[in-house]
Amino acid sequence: MRDKHIVLIEDEPNIAEAIRFILSREGVRVTHHASGAGALAMLQAERPDVLVLDLMLPDRSGLEILAELRAAPAFAALPVLMLTARGQNRDREAAERAGASAFLAKPFANADLLAVVRELARGGA
């Protein structure tokens, strides 16, 4: 996974720092944004290999961002890992309908996060 670029959109500082640490140890470059505002423009500038996106953000929902991404041809195939503090089936189903490539409920195991991001970075999931 070395030399991959992950964009993380997560508003909780402790979770963002933990994810950045976990992925950075694998040689991944992590760009963190605490807000979903301007997500499409930011992603156009960053051009990540994978997006890790929180479902519940203070300014826009992850589902809104994901729908906007999937409607944009440049991001229709971008692998997206959706994170949520609410691991309910309806959240998972909504994320799948919106086009999420994978889904993890918080709290998650470090190994699970790494496994999913590795798979997405390889073009799987």
* Residue 113 contacts residue 90 (beta carbons within 8 Å): no
Alpha-helical regions (H) of 25-88: 39-46, 62-71
CA–chain centroid gap for 68, Å, is 14
Q: For residue 104, give the CATH number of its domain.
A: 3.40.50.2300
User: Based on the structure, what is the number of domains in the chain?
Assistant: 1
- Report the predicted TM-score, pTM, of the whole model to 2 decimal places: 0.94
- Residue 20 CA to residue 23 CA, distance in Å, equals 5
**Residue range(s) defining the domain that contains residue 89:** 5-121
The fraction of the chain above a pLDDT of 90, given in percent, is 77
Query: Which token pair is 55?
Result: 């479902």
Q: What is the pLDDT of residues 36-89, one digit of tens each?
A: 988 889 999 999 999 999 999 988 999 999 999 999 999 999 999 999 887 678
- Residue 5 CA to residue 121 CA, distance in Å, equals 9
